Structure formats: structure tokens, C-alpha cells
A and B are shown apart, each in its own frame.
Chain A
Amino acid sequence: MERPGKFILNLYPTTKFLFAFCLMMTPLLLPGYLYSYMVPVLCLVIALIAGKTKLYVNFVLKGLVPIVVMIFLLQSFFYPGDTVLWSWSIFSIKQEGIHFSLQLTSKILAIGSSIVLFFQITKINDLSRALELMGISPKATYVLSAALNIIPEMRLQLLRIMDAQKTRGVETEGSLTIRMKAFVPALTPLILSSFSSTDEKAITLESRAFTARTKKTSLHHLEKTKSDHVVRALLVIAVVSILIGRFFL
């Protein structure tokens, strides 16, 4: 299992993106929803091979499943239509609603799961570097990397602040008002101290020539390999055959 996993993870970030993009777009080209429902499964298989199953499943369950369930509930009951499948007092499930829900959720699942997969198999630092090589400003990629770098730090700090407040008797459980009241005092010191570091950070970056107009180099080595070309070629073949199958046959 080691080798195919490495193969996927070692692909160039933009290759991974193209792959995810094709997964997202093909459901829009193909009629019906069966294929679209296959996409999350396909993504799961790839996540499995790449060793990212746990996070993939977690994010799909938390991010996508609730909304899919809600769409089914709302649309199958309230979508206008007359083919009643099941009813109870004023509520009735209609064929048209089910059909609409299937169509819509299949696309949401296909697009959503491709995005989840992409971010699970792509390191943001690799992505940043690839974007830089494409000519995106290093300031933009800095923002992306720095944000992801700060979040875990800030989380730790928040937990520390909340612990300190608990010992001082600030309640974080109970009625909604109590919980709301815990929100502001936990957050305020965290936000203030985080923002206060920005001016010295600017001095740090300026001292390290961050704003220099010279073309930057990077120790972060990123290179397209043969596998990238193979994957890209396969993607082109797949998309072209779908197009031919859909529009010419």
C-alpha cells in the first residue's frame, strides 16, 4: 500500500488540483445522478490509498452530510409536485421533490468531496510554492501559509485562556446567556494579543528582505515528474472520451 499512496501524495499540487477539478466538473457533463454519487466513493478510495481516510470521512460527514440530509427533508416535502409517494396529515413526500434532491445533492457531494480530498492530499506549503512558481505574489501565499500556521497556536492560547478563566470562576456551561457571556472574555485577550504582534512582525519581515523586489529562491523543492505527465494525460483522455460519448455518440 505504501507505493501507490506515495505516488498520489507526491504528485505536483496543480496535477492534484486538475484531478480534483475533473472530478468536480464531470458530473455537470454527465446526465443523471448515478455517476455523481460515485465521486465521493471514488474520492474515498483515493483517500484510503493515500492514508487520509480518517480526515476525509470526518470532513465529509461533518461538512456535507448534514446539508444533504436537510436538502432531502426540505425538498421532498415542500418541492411543488403532485406525485405523492407517502403522506401523513398535511405532510407529503413527492416524487418530484425526491428527484430534485437527488439531482442537487449528487452535485454537491461530488464537488464537495473532491474539494475535501484535494485539501487532504495537498500540503498548503506545496500549494503555496506552486502558486508562487506560477507567478502569484509571495505576499498572497504568505497570507495563506501564515494563517494556517497561526491557527493551531491560537487554539492552544484560547484553551489556556479558558482554563485560566474557569479557575477564576467564569462559567462556560449552563444557559445560553451564560455561554454567551463566556464568549467575549475568552476571545478579547486572545484577539488583542494576536493583533498586537503584527507591527513587530512587519519589522521582522522587512529585516529579512521580504519586500525585496528580487526574484526569490526557495529551499522548498517542487518538481513535476513523469507521474504528473501520465496523470495529466489520463485526465485529458478521460475528459475527451466523456465529451465524445456525451455529444457525438
Chain B
Amino acid sequence: MSAIEIRNLSYQYPTGSEEVLHNLNLTIESGKFYALAGVNGGGKTTLCNVIRGFIPHFFKGERTGKVLIEGKDVQDWDPSDLAQKVGFVFQNPFTQISGVKETVFDEIAFGLENLGVEVDVIRQRVQDIIGLLGIGYIQDKNPNELSGGQKQRVALASIIVMEPDILIFDEPTSQLDPQGTEEIFRVIDIMKKKGKTIILVEHKIELIAEYADYVIVLQDGEIKKQGRTEEVLADEATQDFGLGLTQYTLLDLAMRKQHMHTERIPITEGDSVSVMKQWMEFQGVKA
């Protein structure tokens, strides 16, 4: 079943001089992990805001076409149902704190309080998420006093604790080092294994290759490419849209130029190892 259906979607900001999204059509399958990629200014953030209904609610401007979540247009959803259905984490961690809570623990609990969840359940769920993200050491700190990376983890925790079916993450690792980024991907992967639908805007191609099921490439408000990750990221043409390929793919493509044809083009480290092994065996080289 599809989680989100987008039909003939166009949008222009009230202060913009031209459309930012042109006649988009897209189907997001339930329980899958989608990576949204493309050059800066391609419209990724805009699309995320449209899917979550913040456009046109907050940003005004005219949106045409349809954005259906479980068959109902996002604009017709009740705000509290929607908050429970679609989680949204955006790039800037500094504005992603409620501004009224004195500890990280209470901050993470804020969404559940608003949903009227029972206090005991809240405590348990917050505790679980804190464990999952490994942020127990800051749970009694004031959210205002955290570093950018810590705030980003708290922002993520505050949303996934609400257990929405669909999770939209717009560059949730911008403030994190490579190790922190890996950890976040691990958490997102756990969410996927729990059956959540995930839409992630991300530039780090190695991680997309590793975790995403599908890649959607957006440029100038149009979908330039979409498909299974192993197809999109193995295609040389993808580079035309400002998206790098992984070093494993690039190596394989370079080999092909030298007429060394592997069986298929790998996109991840593990992939690459098995493809190489196969190729060497085929060539009669003993590894």
C-alpha cells in the first residue's frame, strides 16, 4: 500500500518569481526508506514542507495538485492526527526546541504531553528513546545549553518518541561528525525495521547507498531521476544532477572503461567486495 501519493503538485512561494515545484508525481510506498537528493535549491526542503502540510499552511502561496496521505489530502487532516501520523525533523537544530522545558528529558516528552499520553507511558517511552540514541548523559541538562549536535539528537528523539508512521528528516545530521551521522542512520534503520516509512534529505551518498531503498533526485523542482537505490546510484548519468556516486561505483565504472567488466555495478563497500571477489574468481585470480 502506498503511504503518500503526490499528483500534479506545483507550488510557488508568495515572494518567489517562479514555481519551485513543477507538476510532481510521486508514490511513496509504506515501510520503505526514500532518500531525497539533488543540488542545493532543488526543492527538497520545499517538498518536505508540502508533504507535512506546512506549505501552504505557514508559508502561504498557492499549491495546486494533490498530496494524499492514506488517501486524504494533507490539508484536510486534523492537526493532531497529522502530528501523530507524520514526524518531521528539519535541518536547523537551534530552533527545534520547544522553548519552555528545562531538561532534555522534559523536552523529549513535550510531544507526548501534547497528545495527552499518560504520564507513566511517557516516562517509559522517553527513557527508551534516550537509550536508543545514547543521550542519557545529557538528559537532565537544559536544552538551551546543548551543542548543535546534541540539539540535533534531541530534536530527532523528540519526534521519533511520538512513533509516527511516516518520518520526514530534512538533513538531520548537518551538525554531526561522521560518527554521529552513522549513529543517526543506525537509528533511522531501526525505525525502518519497525515498519516506518522514511523520507530523508541527505547529501552523504555512502550512507544513502548503504541504507535507502529508493532514491529520488530533485532539481529545479522536477524529479530528474527516481528508482531503486542500486539502480540510481549505479547509473553514471545520475552525476549530471549534482549527485556524486560512491567510490565503489566510481572504481567499477573506471574499470569498465578499461574493459574490465564486473557482473554488476556495486554501490556499497560490502557490495563491492562481493562483486570483486566474483570477478577475480572469474578471472582465475585466487584471492
Query: Which residues on A are within 8 Å of B, measured CB to CB?
Result: 125, 142, 145-146, 149-150, 153, 197, 199-221
Contact = CB atoms under 8 A, between A and B. Distances in A.
B118 A217 contact: yes
Contacts of B92: 200
28 contacts: A145-B99, A146-B99, A149-B144, A197-B95, A200-B96, A203-B54, A203-B58, A205-B98, A206-B54, A207-B89, A208-B98, A208-B110, A208-B158, A208-B162, A209-B84, A209-B111, A209-B114, A210-B110, A211-B80, A212-B80, A212-B83, A213-B78, A213-B79, A216-B113, A217-B117, A217-B119, A217-B122, A219-B113
B42 to A, nearest CB: 20
B144 A200 contact: no
Interface string B112-125: 11111111001100
Contacts of B116: 212, 214-217
Contact of B80 (A153, A213, A219): A213
B158 to A, nearest CB: 6
A201 B99 contact: yes
A211 to B, nearest CB: 5
A202 B58 contact: yes
B221 interface: no
A218 B120 CA distance: 10
A219 B123 CA distance: 8
A213 B80 CA distance: 7
A221 B123 CA distance: 13
Contacts of B111: 207-209
Given A212-B80, A212-B114, 14 more contacts: A153-B144, A197-B94, A199-B58, A200-B90, A200-B96, A203-B88, A204-B98, A206-B54, A206-B79, A207-B87, A208-B162, A211-B80, A212-B116, A217-B122
A203 B90 contact: yes
Interface of B: 49, 52, 54, 58, 78-80, 83-84, 87-90, 92, 94-100, 102, 105-106, 109-119, 122-123, 144, 155, 158-159, 162
Contact of B99 (A125, A149, A203): A149
A211 B109 CA distance: 15
A83 B273 CA distance: 106
B96 A204 contact: yes
A142 B87 CA distance: 22
Nearest to A143: B100
Given A204-B96, A219-B122, A209 B80 contact: yes
**Most central of A149, A209, A218 by chain B CB within 10 Å:** A209
Sorted nearest first, the 9 A-B pairs with minimum C-beta distance are: A212-B80, A209-B83, A200-B95, A208-B111, A214-B116, A209-B114, A145-B100, A207-B88, A146-B99
Contacts of A204: 95-98, 155
A212 B79 contact: yes
Nearest to A198: B95
B119 A219 contact: yes
Contacts of A205: 98
Nearest to B54: A203
Contacts of A209: 79-80, 83-84, 111, 114-115, 162
A155 B96 CA distance: 20
B2 to A, nearest CB: 23
Nearest to B94: A197
A203 B93 CA distance: 12
Contacts of B88: 203, 207
A213 B84 CA distance: 13
A207 B110 CA distance: 11
Contacts of A145: 99-100
Contact of B159 (A207, A217, A219): A207
Nearest to A220: B106
Nearest to B79: A211
A70 to B, nearest CB: 38
B158 A201 contact: no
**Most central of A146, A150, A210, A213 by chain B CB within 10 Å:** A210
Contact of A208 (B78, B94, B114, B119): B114
